[in-house]
Amino acid sequence: MTGQLAVMVGTNLHVSFSHPVSQDEFHDYAARLMDELLALEECDNSITDSTVSSDADERLFTVEIVVRTDDQFEASEKAFATLRAALHAAGAGTPGWPTVVRTEGRTGPLEDLMSA
């Protein structure tokens, strides 16, 4: 990256399946997710250096995506949209996916900010 700022966004995903999966199947799914993230990187030069690690015992994927921007909110929004697209492409559903709302310059109790 030459002269452009970037933000790394990382998240832990606790993964559940509708049927039992072996540890090998769990890690294979993580590899499919990584393949889909790499495919998305080829289509969008604002995302780069994606990584996926998996812990089958904890049913946990750790995902990191670098987004070329100096805006942390934009980076989070882009990274989570990219992750969701990759999950779908790998065959996963994402019901109840969380959303992020920008509330710059606002303070107050959480329940008040949620109604903004």
For residue 113, what pLDDT is reported?
Answer: 44
CA distances, 110 to each of 70, 72, 76, 98, 113 (Å) = 26, 20, 20, 16, 5
Q: Which CATH number fits domain 7-114: 3.40.50.300, 2.30.40.10, 3.30.70.1130, 3.90.550.10?
A: 3.30.70.1130
- Domain ranges (residues) in the chain: 7-114
Q: Check the CA dihedral 18-21-23-25 and report its sign.
A: negative
For residue 88, what pLDDT is reported?
Answer: 93
For residue 47, what pLDDT is reported?
Answer: 93
For residue 81, what pLDDT is reported?
Answer: 92
pLDDT tens for the chain, 116 residues: list them.
Answer: 456 788 888 887 788 777 888 999 999 999 999 999 999 999 999 999 999 999 998 888 999 999 998 888 888 889 889 999 999 999 888 887 776 666 665 544 555 444 54
For residue 106, what pLDDT is reported?
Answer: 54
